[in-house]
Structure 1
């Protein structure tokens, strides 16, 4: 049992009380909307992170298929293949870390994303599209880490 402040009059009241003993303000009903709004914002944020990483993984899969079916294949497009595999592995690890609430996977998903980012940096002189891809990977990684921190996973 803890003491909280009444939202109406500011006096200390037990968190188990139905209403404030000083002014009669209903305590139990006043707490519930704030809790449900907080839960809703956490789930909305997690859904956005999941969608971003799933979209990035789908893009990486298409990117890898394009690399394999291109003229040079994997050996002729090593940078693109490394970027595609890094993004794909990172997004899969990220989605599993969110689903399983795994602290280890949360730290591990950063490694393939970092490899893809470094490879994108080296490939910017080949195509400016790598710069956009680099930004999207960075945003996905940061959003995922911030979400993990909000849900007290890290």
Structure 2
């Protein structure tokens, strides 16, 4: 059973309100509510005090459960890397084709912004800090390649 459900069940069994329990633990009623809803967990000191007040023992997760979760996270990470590569391989192919046909205005002013927008839409699904990191990388890569093509034009015209 989750710790929040255990706190609530034992508190209700003892006919205590959240405010009464909060007063005994020197925390706010909202903190008790967050614990019971699973939005946060009590720290070690609060957990020990809860065990004393509610006369209940909170059992830590076994190491085998933690190992299984760690293994699952590794599998998810590996699958994410593979899918990331599979999803962006066509975009890389598209980029090579764009470089060959860069002089076409349709490609430069429609296809490239649409491709960037699609990439950003996909990255927006990820966590915010990852999104901003990739946004910066994409913009830097775009500026560098634009500069590269611009400098090629200057060299060719001389």
Specify the TM-score bucket, using the shorter chain as the normaliser: 0.3 to 0.5
The structure whose residues are more often helix, as a share, is: 2
Could you state the TM-score of these two structures normalised by the residue count of structure 2? 0.35
Could you state the TM-score of these two structures normalised by the residue count of structure 1? 0.36
1 or 2 for the larger relative contact order (CA 8 Å, sep ≥6)?
Answer: 1
* Rg (Cα) greater in structure: 2
